[in-house]
Chains A and B, each alone.
Chain A
Amino acid sequence: RKEVEQDPGPFNVPEGATVAFNCTYSNSASQSFFWYRQDCRKEPKLLMSVYSSGNEDGRFTAQLNRASQYISLLIRDSKLSDSATYLCAVRGLGFNKFYFGSGTKLNVKP
Chain B
Amino acid sequence: GAVVSQHPSWVICKSGTSVKIECRSLDFQATTMFWYRQFPKQSLMLMATSNEGSKATYEQGVEKDKFLINHASLTLSTLTVTSAHPEDSSFYICSARPSGGNTGELFFGEGSRLTVL
Within the assembled complex, what's the spacing in Å between the Cα atoms of A98 and B103?
13
A41-B113, A43-B93, A44-B44 known; A96+B108 contact, CB < 8 A: no
B32 touches A96 (CB 8 A): yes
Q: Is A22 an interface residue (CB 8 A)?
A: no
Q: Is A89 an interface residue (CB 8 A)?
A: yes
Q: Is B105 an interface residue (CB 8 A)?
A: yes
Q: Is A21 an interface residue (CB 8 A)?
A: no
**Chain A interface bracket (under 10, 10 to 19, 20 to 34, 35 or more):** 20 to 34
Interface residues of B in 78-117 (CB under 8 A from A): 91, 93, 95, 103-111, 113
Nearest CB of B to A27, in Å: 14
**Chain B interface bracket (under 10, 10 to 19, 20 to 34, 35 or more):** 20 to 34
Q: Is A99 an interface residue (CB 8 A)?
A: yes
B104 touches A95 (CB 8 A): yes
Interface residues of A in 30-53 (CB under 8 A from B): 31-32, 34, 41-46, 49
B103 touches A49 (CB 8 A): yes
Within the assembled complex, what's the spacing in Å between the Cα atoms of A41 and B111?
9
Nearest CB of B to A99, in Å: 7
Within the assembled complex, what's the spacing in Å between the Cα atoms of A109 and B7?
35
Q: Which residue of A lies closest to B95 (CB)?
A: A98
Question: Which residues of B lie under 8 Å from residue A44 when comparing CB positions?
Answer: 44, 93, 108
Within the assembled complex, what's the spacing in Å between the Cα atoms of A74 and B10?
34
Q: Is B13 an interface residue (CB 8 A)?
A: no
Interface residues of A in 70-110 (CB under 8 A from B): 87, 89, 91, 95-103
Nearest CB of B to A57, in Å: 14
Within the assembled complex, what's the spacing in Å between the Cα atoms of A46 and B101?
16
A interface with B by C-beta (< 8 Å): 4, 8, 31-32, 34, 41-46, 49, 87, 89, 91, 95-103
Q: List 5 A–B pairs whose Cβ atoms lie within 8 Å, in order of A's numbering.
A: A31-B104, A43-B6, A95-B104, A102-B43, A103-B43
